Structure formats: structure tokens, C-alpha cells
């Protein structure tokens, strides 16, 4: 049952962000990356680990440093869209750069 609640709440946030995006795309982007999603995962991690301080600290550290590859992801997407590249190309390039950042993130946070 817990996984269904997690999925329903997470899906609701995604649906709200995409609904807002129909009328206000930049606000939708803000909603999509707002701390609400990070806070939601923080709650799930807390509940799944009985409030273990080490798990919470590790999550917060990973999320903080994980912001950098995410910023790069969106920067590459923005450049691609400014160059009028297609969505598949923009997503491919953005995810490729993000994967490199994610690899470095994991390598240096060990």
C-alpha cells in the first residue's frame, strides 16, 4: 500500500506541473524543480529508514551536489532549443551530459 501512496502523490505532482505548463510553461518548470519534489523524497527516505540521521544526511548531501548535473542538463537543453534542435536530440544531449555529471557525482561523493 505504501508504494501506491508514493506513486499516487508523485504522479499528482507531475500532473499538476504538466497542467500548469499548458498555460504557463516557465511556471511549470519552476514547479517541476521546486523543493516540493525533493522534500517529498526526503519524507520517503525518512519513513523508509526510520529517521536514521545518517541516511538523511547522505540523501541531503547527494541531492545538494546532484543539483549541479541537473543544472547542466537544463543548460544543454536550453542551448539545443535555442538552436532549434528537435526534442529527441535535445533530450539525448541533455541526458548524455547529465550521465557524465551523475558519474562524476557518484565518483566524488564516495
- pLDDT, one tens digit per residue, over 31-65 is 777 777 788 888 889 999 999 999 999 999 988 88
What's the whole-number mean pLDDT along residues 69-84?
96
Cβ of 76: how many Cβ atoms within 10 Å? 19
CA distance 93 to 9: 30
Say how many Å lie between the first and final Cα of the chain, rounded. Answer: 33
What's the whole-number mean pLDDT along residues 7-35?
85
Q: Is the pLDDT of residue 91 over 80?
A: yes
Amino acid at each position: 500500500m505504501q508504494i501506491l501512496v508514493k506513486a499516487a502523490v508523485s504522479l499528482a505532482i507531475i500532473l499538476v506541473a504538466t497542467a500548469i505548463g499548458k498555460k504557463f510553461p516557465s511556471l511549470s518548470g519552476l514547479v517541476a524543480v521546486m523543493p516540493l519534489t525533493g522534500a517529498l523524497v526526503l519524507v520517503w527516505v525518512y519513513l523508509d529508514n526510520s529517521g536514521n540521521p545518517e541516511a538523511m544526511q547522505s540523501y541531503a548531501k547527494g541531492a545538494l551536489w546532484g543539483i549541479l548535473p541537473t543544472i547542466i542538463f537544463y543548460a544543454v537543453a536550453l542551448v539545443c532549443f535555442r538552436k532549434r534542435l528537435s526534442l529527441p536530440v535535445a533530450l539525448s544531449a541533455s541526458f548524455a551530459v547529465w550521465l557524465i555529471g551523475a558519474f562524476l557525482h557518484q565518483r566524488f561523493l564516495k
